[in-house]
């Protein structure tokens, strides 16, 4: 291995590491690349090394044609006919070649026929003879998570303001009406309602956070689907009775699934509670099961108000409510269905919905059947 090979190994290795650990590694890589600039050409061994790296890295000659590229760079779609497809990246490479410094740039790209947006951080270094080493880090998922986190915090702030503001106003009303026992009783009752709403919201935020961070299949148990359904139905029976809604369990299949008992029960509970809350008195909510091709389907059906077609795609979004007025009446937080989707996805399943306005809705969870039932508990 030549000195050029060795410095290429270090330059690429440190270049990739800088994406992860930041400034300290960037300074080390700068020292490595300073020596790299003394190289007159790339050996075949060094070129082969670059090609087998999984990261998106490439070397461009003085004409800005890619002379070597990793599989990651080719898969990324930043090259076409050996030429960079992004004017921003071309400008970065030219600036690096002229300044002889390590340069970095955040770039937004569109890739594929669907023109999906991809967010990257590109770093470039002059490695001698007009050649430039370009390393690209995909930050799309990181950016998406940042945006989701910001939206979530904004939504939480908005949702918390309503019950907290109501409690503040009601407490003032109680103070002003302290001589009127009937008014005090009325305001106190409303305070209890808002306090419960606030408690439920905080509890569901905690539940959603736990579900997102958990891995239910890591220490999964083998569970009987009918047991989970019966437990969830029992938890919802008091609410259903108070609203004069009948609960039915139509069991045609009973199979084992693998996962976290509490999470799966919570998912079923949320679906049944949701069906109850959006159903008129005197109707029924039913749970049924079926199995096909190694998948068990658990369907929760109601005879409620249904969901407008335009709203169906959004119902699993956090804090989204089809009928905000009814949610206030029933104490809904807008997080229940989002929690269900996260739980089902974490268990390797999927959830779908059928709905027709003024007819009802059916939410169906599909989970892989656990084939072996040995040692189940």
Task: Render pLDDT for 70-103 as a digit per residue (tens, 0 to 9).
Answer: 777 777 778 888 888 888 999 999 999 988 888 8
Pick from 45, 48, 47, 58: nearest CA to 86: 58
C-alpha to C-alpha distance for 252 and 352, rounded to whole angstroms: 20
Same domain, 102 and 13: yes
pLDDT tens-digit profile of 246-269?
999 988 777 899 999 989 998 999
Same domain, 325 and 348: yes
Tell me the CATH number at 31: 3.30.450.20
Other CB atoms within 10 Å distance of the CB of residue 111: 14
Range in 51-55, 227-231, 272-276 with the lowest mean pLDDT: 51-55
Same domain, 18 and 77: yes
**pLDDT for residue 34 is more than 70:** no
Mean pLDDT of the chain: 76
DSSP letter for each residue of 57-126: EEEE-TTSBEEEE-HHHHHHT-EETTEES-HHHHHHHHHHHHH-S-EEEEEEEEETTTTEEEEEEEEEEE
Same domain, 227 and 178: no
Final residue belonging to a domain, choices 172, 188, 213: 213
Name the helix (H) or strand (E) containing 194.
helix 181-213
User: What is the percentage of the chain residues whose pLDDT exceeds 90?
Assistant: 21
Final residue belonging to a domain, choices 138, 166, 199: 138
Strands 246-250 and 66-69: unpaired
**pLDDT for residue 54 is more than 60:** no
pLDDT at 94: 92
C-alpha to C-alpha distance for 185 and 181, rounded to whole angstroms: 6
Other CB atoms within 10 Å distance of the CB of residue 159: 21
C-alpha to C-alpha distance for 259 and 264, rounded to whole angstroms: 7
pLDDT tens-digit profile of 130-174?
888 888 888 887 887 777 677 666 666 666 766 777 778 888 888
Same domain, 288 and 330: yes
Same domain, 77 and 131: yes
Same domain, 295 and 150: no
Largest CA distance in the chain: 93
Token digits for 208? Answer: 């959603």
DSSP letter for each residue of 226-273: HHHHHHHHHHHHHHHHHTT-EEEEE-S---EEEE-HHHHHHHHHHHHH
| Cα torsion angle, 235, 236, 240, 243, sign | positive
Domain count, the chain: 3
* Banded model confidence at residue 27, pLDDT cuts 50, 70, 90: very low
Other CB atoms within 10 Å distance of the CB of residue 55: 19
Same domain, 7 and 134: yes
Final residue belonging to a domain, choices 213, 228, 252: 213
Residue-range definition of the domain harbouring residue 305? 216-377
pTM of the model: 0.52
**pLDDT for residue 49 is more than 90:** no
Same domain, 123 and 185: no
Choice between 294 and 21, residue whose per-residue pLDDT is larger: 294
């Amino acid at each position: 291995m030549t000195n050029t090979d060795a410095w290429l190994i270090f330059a690429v290795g440190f270049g990739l590491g800088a994406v992860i650990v930041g400034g300290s590694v960037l300074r080390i890589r700068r020292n490595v690349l300073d020596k790299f600039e003394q190289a007159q050409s790339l050996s075949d061994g060094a070129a082969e090394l670059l090609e087998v790296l999984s990261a998106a890295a490439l070397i461009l000659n003085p004409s800005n044609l890619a002379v070597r590229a990793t599989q990651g760079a080719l898969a990324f779609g930043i090259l076409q006919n050996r030429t960079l497809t992004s004017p921003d990246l071309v400008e970065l490479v030219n600036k690096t070649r002229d300044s002889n410094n390590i340069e970095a740039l955040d770039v937004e790209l569109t890739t594929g026929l669907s023109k999906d947006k991809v967010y990257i951080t590109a770093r470039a270094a002059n490695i001698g003879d007009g050649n430039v080493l370009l390393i690209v880090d995909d930050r799309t998922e990181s950016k998406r998570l940042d945006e989701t986190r910001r939206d979530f915090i904004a939504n939480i702030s908005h949702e918390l303001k309503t019950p907290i503001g109501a409690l503040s106003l009601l407490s003032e009303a109680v103070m002003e009406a302290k001589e009127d026992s009937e008014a005090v009783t009325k305001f106190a009752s409303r305070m209890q309602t808002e306090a419960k709403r606030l408690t439920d919201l905080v509890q569901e935020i905690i539940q959603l956070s736990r579900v997102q961070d958990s891995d239910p299949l890591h220490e999964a148990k083998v569970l009987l689907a009918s047991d989970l359904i019966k437990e969830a139905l029992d938890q919802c029976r008091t609410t259903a009775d108070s609203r004069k809604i009948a609960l039915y369990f139509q069991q045609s299949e009973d199979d084992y699934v693998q996962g976290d008992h509490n999470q799966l029960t919570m998912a079923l509970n949320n679906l049944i509670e949701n069906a109850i809350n959006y159903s008129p008195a005197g109707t029924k909510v039913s749970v049924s099961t079926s199995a096909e091709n190694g998948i068990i389907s658990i369907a929760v059906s109601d005879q409620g108000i249904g969901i407008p077609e335009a709203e169906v795609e959004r119902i699993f979004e956090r804090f989204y409510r089809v009928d905000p007025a009814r949610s206030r009446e029933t104490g809904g937080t807008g997080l229940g269905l989002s929690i269900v989707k996260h739980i089902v996805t974490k268990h390797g399943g999927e959830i779908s919905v059928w709905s027709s306005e003024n007819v009802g809705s059916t939410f169906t969870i599909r989970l892989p059947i656990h084939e072996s039932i040995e040692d189940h508990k």
